[in-house]
Amino acid sequence: MSAVTDTVAAAAPANPISQSIRDSLVVAKRNLIRMTRIPEMVIFGLIQPIMFVVLFSYVFGGSMQIGGSTSPEAYRNFLMAGIFAQTVTFATAGAGAGIADDMHKGLIDRFRSLPMARGAVLTGRTLADLVQTALTVFVLSIVALLVGWRVGSDGDTNVGKVLAAFGLLLLTGYAFTWIGALIGLSVRTPEAATSGGLIWLFPVTFISNSFVDTTHMTPWLRHIAEWNPFSATVQACRTLFGNPGVSPSDAWPMAHPVLASLIYSVVIIAIFRTLAVRKYRSATA
């Protein structure tokens, strides 16, 4: 009787949630191993944000007025939260291109033949991209410290707040990779996914408080920038890092940036994960 019970239990389907988690981790591991075998993917992903740090710090550092000061140090402390946020959101293009490449090569069709959770392919891919993004942010932080960025330059902070800021950055980056996943499933080639993943990111990152104080913008543009989800993350990081922020604003996301960033990220994940999984099912049906 015991043997029969054990056989039935072994034959019973696994818990859907635990199976989805297990399958997602397997796919994530596969993508991480692929990254280690193609190190230029990581290296090229590091070059662009490092270039942004150096160019913006030394080219614009002495010409921007932040909090009444035009010193390069003040601008570097102001700038870094924007560079960090831009870096994690630009991972969107890589996520979209990677998924489009898997679709183009037929890898997704091979995954379909396996007894695995449907959403695990996308979740695993986005988790692997999150690990790569974390590595990029770590290296970028070292470069920022080398060029003169310092936490607590204009306010109180501590280790917990700094870690919370990096946590918000990674959450925002993870949310945006789901947008990239949807783009990657919606186009026919990896090249189109890369272009489609970047073209909309430039206005999102530049019409914000990432590189300039929004008070210098025209009123209608400032209103857009202050309600931009990207701006909320940037302002939250400046608050947690203890760096100079933008001028006071009545806009709710700027008055409550940490909460606003959390809400924006959760909403983006909820919407675009649902759309991406639905698109994946229809694309592979």
Supply the pLDDT for residue 163: 94
Q: How many residues does the chain have?
A: 285
**What pLDDT is stored for residue 116 in this prediction?**
76
Q: What is the pLDDT of residue 227?
A: 94
- What one-character-per-residue DSSP string does 123-174 give? HHHHHHHHHHHHHHHHHHHHHHHHHT--TTSSS---HHHHHHHHHHHHHHHH
User: What is the DSSP secondary-structure string of 260-277?
Assistant: HHHHHHHHHHHHHHHHHH
Give the position of tokens 């009545």: 250
Predicted model pTM: 0.85
Per residue in 160-204, pLDDT tens?
999 999 999 999 999 999 999 899 888 878 888 888 878 898 899
Question: By the 8 A CB rule, do 131 and 42 touch?
Answer: no
pLDDT in tens, the chain (285 residues): 444 334 333 434 457 778 888 888 888 888 888 877 877 777 877 788 888 888 877 777 666 766 666 677 778 888 889 999 999 998 888 888 888 887 777 777 677 677 777 778 888 888 988 998 999 899 999 988 888 888 876 667 888 999 999 999 999 999 999 999 899 888 878 888 888 878 898 899 999 988 888 888 899 999 999 999 999 999 999 999 988 766 678 889 999 999 999 999 999 999 999 999 888 877 655
Q: Which pLDDT belongs to residue 67? A: 63
